[in-house]
A and B are shown apart, each in its own frame.
Chain A
Amino acid sequence: MRLADLMGPFLGFLARAITGAQGHWLGCPPSNEQRIYIANHQSHFDLVLIWAALPSELRAKTRAIAARDYWTKGKFKTWLTTDVFNTVYVSRTRANPDEDPLEPLVEALKQGDSLIIFPEGTRSNKGEPMPFKAGIYHLAEQFPNVQIIPTWIDNVQRVMPKGEVVPVPILCTVTFGTPTQIQPGEEKKAFLERTRAEVTALKPGGWKQ
């Protein structure tokens, strides 16, 4: 058994101890169908949290997207994203204009893996997610049978704000919404805006903001 095989469950346990990492499957039950989870992104902790909220049987086949320039810097980061989480790397900058940055994602989907994508492209801390990048539209176009699950990760920005190292124990939830796809005749812009609204709509309300 490799250390990485222990690290995953350990991080999952840590995430549960600190945040509860409760998964709320509002729009669909957990299932091993091929899916793309699109979630808001506020902290590095997001990945661990969404991963801990998934049933353990789904974790091996569900791979997150990580930015190559950031997550391959240094041995530990590389080990974490490669061996522990088995992430799919994506380049934020193109080396040459012909290269398709979505290539690795398409490859992973062809293998039958599910993906976790943060379509904002970077971490936001404004509360509302930033406009979505077009990548998910192209993936949805190429793989019409893959379900797109809007996902909202709540409260995580309070656990570990940008720049802090030690997490504070605060309860977080991961809410999974109703699966969606590109509607017939839907334009790229409309699709991105609609999915962003669907993700935002999952934000739990109920207490004073």
Chain B
Amino acid sequence: MSELKHWSPADQIALLFALLFGLLLLITAGGVLYRLKNPVEELAINPRSARAQFQRDLNASWVGALLFWLAWISGPAGSTILFGLFSFFCLREFITLQHTTRSDHRTLIAAFFIVLPLQYIVVANRRFDLFTVLIPVYAFLAIPVISALSGDPKRFLERNAKIQWGIMVCIYGLSHAPALLLLEFPRYAGKGAFLLFFLVTVVSVAQIVQEVVSRSVRSLPTVRAISRSFSRRAWWSGALAGAFVGALLYWVTPFKAGQAFVMAFIAAASGTLGALVMKAMKREAGIHYWGNRSGITGAVGLLDRVAALCFAAPIFFHSVRWYFKLSV
């Protein structure tokens, strides 16, 4: 382990990817073997079964790992474009299920073709002072102004809130992932990928543990109307599991073990709570997954996979900045 410290950051990151993909391959191979052993499993057909949930979680992990790897090998410009595209597809899914009207047309054009590229251009140029305020300050004034100029007062506040939420989650939240890659920390140069890896791992572990606990431990759902599986106990298990994994991974981060535990807890807790918020939105829209299986939208369900990250990334990002005492 002490030898590893002398490796260059690039080599350390290469080793990290080798471990990550090796682990995923092992789990996938295990899943395939399980399916071979139990070939006729009727549960597999039911999209709400544990087996289907496991498959979804595994797919999500693959997507996350590949995304992370692509972001790393393609450098700052590549990772910015990549996450920009993901933002675009997520926002497209989000807006599809919100019932925007004809008078929202210009507002949506501004969201997709002005706010989104602008935010990612600012990230690519590492203008972190502007990056944190561009959407909450400037875009959130501009969007309702464009809506007002469309001259339709019907459900004005509701329509604006929906679009602003879409921007907040799908653009602002997700753009913090490449920001983590690009942010230079003192004594921690070139290792931004470790922070993103730390974040993604901790959030995924928290989600998976929460899911497993809610299935295996009987406890009262806290908010039955929104989620049957969300309970206080499951949430605490998930967040703490994420925190423990984070503490175990402290050596890839600039933190000490105890600090890594706290940081991981913050990320895991905000990620799982964010997923609950997205679930509430899905309930309002009357669907079960963003990319609905019955083929309503034809989406791939990307938003389902990155929703927790959208919430965890900004909180984690600012906690890290605070830790390094970087001025805003």
Contact = CB atoms under 8 A, between A and B. Distances in A.
Interface of A: 20, 22, 24, 155, 158, 161, 164, 166, 168-173, 175, 204-209
B128 to A, nearest CB: 28
Contacts of B96: 155, 170-171
Interface residues of B, number: 26
Looking at A22, A24, A158, A166, which has the most chain B CB atoms within 10 Å of its CB?
A: A158
Q: Is the interface of A mostly helix, strand, loop or mixed?
A: loop
Interface string B288-313: 00001011111100000000000000
A20 B105 contact: no
Contacts of B88: 169
B295 A173 contact: yes
A166 B110 CA distance: 11
A166 B88 CA distance: 16
B95 A170 contact: yes
Looking at B95, B105, B292, which has the most chain A CB atoms within 10 Å of its CB?
A: B105
Given A206-B286, A207-B285, A207-B286, A161 B105 contact: yes
28 contacts: A20-B297, A155-B96, A155-B297, A161-B105, A168-B109, A168-B112, A169-B88, A169-B91, A169-B92, A169-B95, A169-B112, A170-B92, A170-B95, A170-B100, A171-B93, A171-B96, A171-B297, A173-B297, A175-B295, A206-B286, A206-B287, A206-B296, A207-B285, A207-B287, A207-B292, A208-B285, A208-B286, A209-B99
A128 B109 CA distance: 26
Looking at A169, A170, A175, A205, which has the most chain B CB atoms within 10 Å of its CB?
A: A169
A112 B202 CA distance: 59
Contacts of B298: 20, 22, 24, 171-173
Contact of B296 (A161, A164, A173): A173
Nearest to A24: B295
Contacts of A206: 286-287, 292, 294, 296
A155 to B, nearest CB: 7
Nearest to B85: A17
B154 interface: no
A207 B296 contact: yes
B285 A171 contact: no
A175 B109 CA distance: 27
